[in-house]
Amino acid sequence: MFSQAQALLPDLIRIRRHLHQWPELSFQEYETSAFVSKTLHDLGIPHETEVARTGVVGILGHGDGPTLALRADMDALPIQEENDVPYRSRREGVMHACGHDAHTTMLLGAAMLLKQVEDQLPGRVKLIFQPAEEIIGGDGYSGAKLMVEEGVIEDVDAIIGLHVDPTLPVGSIGVRPGPMMAAADRIVIDILGKKAHGAYAYLGADAIVMAAQVIMAAQTIISRRIPAVQEGVITFGEIHGGVRDNIISDRVTLTGTVRSYDPHIRDQLERELEEVVSIVERLGGGYQYRYMRGNPAVINDGQLAGFVARIGKQLLGAEQVREAAKTMGAEDFAWYMRHTRGNFVRIGVRAPQWPEVRPLHTPTFDIDERALAVGAALFAQCAVRWLQEYEPERWPGEPSILED
């Protein structure tokens, strides 16, 4: 399968560069969806459009037997690209700085490969081209959550997703059983004080000082209120308040993110953050507290992770399958995992000649395009072998992730 994917590489590079030049923000992926739809149509793959607003879902294989879903996200970020390359973004202020153009290309490549063996598939492969992964906070309405609510994976027995990883060399993949990426929640806190002249602070209630107390006290939740073996992050990324240097501020708004893995720790962080904020009442102020849950944590199915690792070794060689890092980043792929077993795998995209990592979500992010064949082959081979091997009464039955 890898040699067939490598033969497709010129086409995959052309597709990826087209998508890279015309990035679209979350739930605005109209041209991207149209391109995906046309490609599937040309391949003779039946599909639905306007799923979860701007998503596309294709079906390969037969109606009987199990169903494996493969997922790629399609949206870009509000970043101005700084790369001086022929395929740089042509949309001002919008860039595929997270590699979703590559993900979409890899899934289209897998569709090309699977179409060639469709008659041999003992089941179905569902191709999920998902919008709006980059929306992680607020009401939590990412593309994955909407896909789930629209019933896209009701008939799915397992799902595999992937993400490019600029820390891994091209030709390698990263797989990890269990916790991999954190739950991501959003907090908005309004600290309410009382205006006064800056020279007579005792006549007011200084919202800026109270906000400083809250910011510092919140960090003690992580250091002193949760077990050291548990992960948690509280970050205030925005603070807005005040109108003039000699006026005591009567309102400060703090906005931030809270990351965790364990559901009980997540509940504790939400509860204890409000307890910390309530200290402003003893300082003469008031508050409004909003805690908005976003993506759940990505918890990979151990047996499915072992399966993907095995297929990766067969395709690329054992030395090219690494144990992926556990991070506090977030991914809306987690919504699918609430309803079916899943595995999220990382695809190495770092070129050997690059002197340093080109990080995600930066204006200079790019990939070694040879990784497109890796992702397409891994998607396709996993689908073929999983459908061939799946037996409900025997699955799970995979060895530990890094065993031969």
Q: Are 28 and 54 in contact (CB under 8 A)?
A: yes
Residue written as tokens 């199990």?
Answer: 66
81 is catalytic: no
Question: Is the omega angle on the peptide bond into residue 399 within 30 degrees of 0, that is, cis?
Answer: no
301 as an active site residue: the answer is: no
Whether the CB-CB separation of 174 and 224 falls below 8 Å is answered with: no
Which of these is catalytic: 24, 29, 73, 75?
75
117-152-258 Cα angle (round to 5):
120
Cβ pair 297, 376 in contact under 8 A: no
Run of H or E including 234? strand 232-241
If we measure between CA atoms, which residue out of 248, 245, 252 comes closest to residue 197? Answer: 248
CB atoms within 10 A of CB 52: 24
d(Cα 312, Cα 301) in Å, to the nearest integer?
Answer: 16
319: helix, coil or strand?
A: helix
Of 14, 161, 26, the residue nearest 96 (C-alpha): 26
CA distance 122 to 390: 10
Q: Which of 24, 29, 133, 272 is catalytic?
A: 133
Q: In angstroms, rounded to a whole number, what is the distance separating the alpha carbons of residues 247 and 200? A: 9
Active site residues: 75, 133
